[in-house]
Amino acid sequence: MKVPFIDLKASYNPLHEEIMKEMNGVFERCDFVLGGAVRDFEAAVREYCGVKYALGVANGTDALVIALRALNIGKGDEVITTPFTFFATAESIYEVGARPVFCDISPESYNLDPKGVEQFIEAYCDQNEKGIFNRATGGRVRAILPVHLYGLMADMQAFRHLQEKYGLDIIEDAAQAMGATVDIDGKEFAQAGSVGDVGCFSFYPSKNLGGSGDGGMIVTNREDIFEKAKALHVHGSRQRYYHSEFGYNSRLDTIQAAVLKLKLPLMPKWLEMRVANAQLYNKVLREKLTAAKIPVVMSAELPEDGARPEGAVVLPSEPRCLHHTYNSYEIRVPDRDNASKALNEQGVGTMIYYPLPLHLQDVFEYLKLGEGDLPVAERICGDILALPQYPEIGADAIEHVADCLAGYLKG
């Protein structure tokens, strides 16, 4: 049995005709740029996320760049973020001229750890009436940029407290987590992207809501952010051919919007399937690994340093008040590279999200961080492994993947 890592055809094939109809509509109207489908899709996302404003942009990376610019974050500013994410998160901070500050992650959720952020501010920053300043660089710490990795929201309740305490902005990188929710400030099921000052989505085909190419969206409840972002995404113009600032050509394609608008109402069902898959993975992996005498621990049971017990496999826990969407399903395994190879040889697709933390990437050498500085992220990069996950994967495939892994680890 072959199990691909992801199978986009499984969700596209049943929709083929409807998608063609939507696309035809765009060709009939020829409203290719900023057409009706873009406005309709923005309205649908506003409703879905429970926010006042939504703005389609060309991709998730641009959503981050434009969100940072809309908050007037740039040269001389610093943004606290996670080293354990897709490169675009920190790239966007660099692109606007600001400096990323990497703080370590939680071994339970794999997301930026609010305790580490607070420790950084308390130990390394000075606070005065002008703001929070990094003593080592003189830069002004302006914002926190948590990532909702793998489809699980970061601890937004804790980040809200830090926001109030230190007067920082929050940009949510919700690229992997559209539809994820958090119970916060007495409100149940607040949507990813709607909790911070501004939220950023990607519609890259493998995300929770995947387009047929690139696409992205900014959501916010703040009119000032929306108005500025709206200008920035069309060359910094509020009135056509009059430019008050330098911006971007970064619009969500009408064709993409037409497809995404069709798919959005189906996403809740797909998310339910993703969650059911992850729950089944957790169950059958525990059974089969235990039967093979391989120790199993939940990520919530790990010590603070995230050390994986010798020979054990770590399964993902769902932290309190956070509702996972499992955009991908990851475990931590001994001998990761060989385990991954063994699965691939048996026709099971795998991925490593991510093999090298951002603070150790060549391009961030100038930050002068080295090995050992962010030990939890470094440790997890060494043994994390993503197993096949997509809504339609099915129970047989999941059992088969668990059998293959248990078989390999048993030796």
Ligand X SMILES: *Cc1c(COP(=O)(O)O)cnc(C)c1O
Residues that bind ligand X (CB under 6 A): 59-61, 85-86, 88-89, 147, 173, 175-176, 202, 204, 214, 216
Nearer to ligand X, 207 or 323 (CB): 207
Q: How far is residue 221's CA from residue 198's CA, in Å, rounded to a whole number?
A: 7
Closest approach of ligand X to the CB of residue 169, in Å: 18
Closest approach of ligand X to the CB of residue 63, in Å: 7
Q: How far is residue 172's CA from residue 410's CA, in Å, rounded to a whole number?
A: 41
Residue number of the CB atom closest to ligand X: 60
In three-state secondary structure terms, 310 is: coil
Nearer to ligand X, 150 or 408 (CB): 150
Nearer to ligand X, 204 or 329 (CB): 204
* Angle subtended at Cα 11 by Cα 7 and Cα 14, rounded to the nearest 5 degrees: 130
Strands, E, within 226-372: which ranges?
Answer: 237-239, 242-243, 296-298, 313-315, 322-323, 329-332
Nearer to ligand X, 63 or 258 (CB): 63
Q: How far is residue 202's CA from residue 88's CA, in Å, rounded to a whole number?
A: 11
Closest approach of ligand X to the CB of residue 138, in Å: 28
Measured over the CA atoms of residue 205, residue 208, residue 90 and residue 106, the dihedral's sign is negative
Nearer to ligand X, 278 or 296 (CB): 278
Nearer to ligand X, 58 or 402 (CB): 58
Could you tell me the two tokens for 303?
């010590």
Q: What are 14-22's contacts with CB under 8 Å, separation 24+?
A: 15/262, 15/263, 15/266, 18/262, 19/212, 19/259, 19/262, 22/258, 22/259, 22/261, 22/262
Closest approach of ligand X to the CB of residue 92, in Å: 8
Closest approach of ligand X to the CB of residue 85, in Å: 5
Closest approach of ligand X to the CB of residue 3, in Å: 22
Q: Is the peptide bond before 329 cis (omega within 30 degrees of 0)?
A: no
Q: How far is residue 99's CA from residue 122's CA, in Å, rounded to a whole number?
A: 19
Closest approach of ligand X to the CB of residue 61, in Å: 3
Closest approach of ligand X to the CB of residue 68, in Å: 13
Q: Are 90 and 84 in contact (CB under 8 A)?
A: no
Closest approach of ligand X to the CB of residue 250, in Å: 10
* Angle subtended at Cα 209 by Cα 208 and Cα 211, rounded to the nearest 5 degrees: 130
Nearer to ligand X, 216 or 357 (CB): 216
Q: Which residues of 272-309 are buried (b: 16+ CB within 10 A; e: fewer)?
A: ebbbebbebbbebbbebbeeeebebbebbebeeebebe
Nearer to ligand X, 171 or 339 (CB): 171
Nearer to ligand X, 148 or 230 (CB): 148
Nearer to ligand X, 61 or 389 (CB): 61
Q: Could you write out the DSSP letters of every residue in 78-141?
A: EEEE-SSS-THHHHHHHHTT-EEEE--B-TTTSSB-HHHHHHHHHHHEEEETTEEEETTT--EE
Indicate the residue type of 349.
G
β-pair type (169-173, 131-134): unpaired
Q: Are 156 and 165 in contact (CB under 8 A)?
A: no
Closest approach of ligand X to the CB of residue 293, in Å: 36
Nearer to ligand X, 62 or 308 (CB): 62
Closest approach of ligand X to the CB of residue 219, in Å: 15
Q: Could you write out the DSSP letters of every residue in 179-234?
A: T-EEEETTEEEEETTSSSSEEEEE--TTSSS--SS--EEEEES-HHHHHHHHHHTB
